[in-house]
Amino acid sequence: MKKQLVALFATLSMLLGGSAALAEQKTGHMEGHHNGSGAAAESIHADVKKHQACPHCGMDREKFAHSRMLITYSDGSSVGVCSIHCVVVEIKANKAKTIKIVEVADVHTKKLVDAEKATWVIGGSKKGVMTRIPKWAFAQKDDAAAFISKNGGKLATYKEALALAEKD
């Protein structure tokens, strides 16, 4: 019954132009899209107001505020994506552009921090966004350590998380 409802939803979404719903039906590609809080009626994040949907997969960046990322280029333009997976897609699509900064949401506070200054956790039992191997960012190393104690995983840098995402 559940599979039939999912198939029906996917079909209706395609007919109505719902690319995000279609993307979520890709087997094994979009596991773990539950942050437990639901989408807020109005975003409290300025970057989400400007970039509501991920340009690469169509996912709602408010719903995935805990994994969202923001790339700001040297020319002043910016692109908001849903996850580190879509950061990889964005970087590959815009190799000629110079990146000024990449920011990532702290899993707990959902506030953006410099991706290179964040403490990353790779792996663990909490399902990731757009990946089979989870990659989570934390503003504070203590929060990352507490997350590992509860969910498993290992500490990492942004460069390590990005390199692993490139292999996904």
pLDDT tens digits for range 96-140: 999 999 999 999 999 999 999 999 999 999 999 999 999 999 999
Burial zone of 38 (CB within 10 Å; 0-12 exposed, 13-18 middle, 19+ buried):
exposed
Q: How confident is the model at residue 44 (pLDDT cuts 50, 70, 90)?
A: low
Report which of residues 23 and 130 the model is more confident about: 130
Q: How confident is the model at residue 168 (pLDDT cuts 50, 70, 90)?
A: confident
pLDDT of residue 45: 84
Q: In this model, does residue 43 exceed pLDDT 70?
A: no
Q: In this model, does residue 73 exceed pLDDT 60?
A: yes
Q: To which residue do tokens 């290992």 refer? A: 154
Share of the chain above pLDDT 90, in %: 71
| CA gap 102, 70 in Å, rounded | 6
For CA atoms 148, 153, 156, 159, give the dihedral sign.
negative
| CA gap 39, 65 in Å, rounded | 9
Burial zone of 34 (CB within 10 Å; 0-12 exposed, 13-18 middle, 19+ buried):
exposed
| CA gap 157, 148 in Å, rounded | 15
Closest CA to 120 of 94, 89, 87: 87
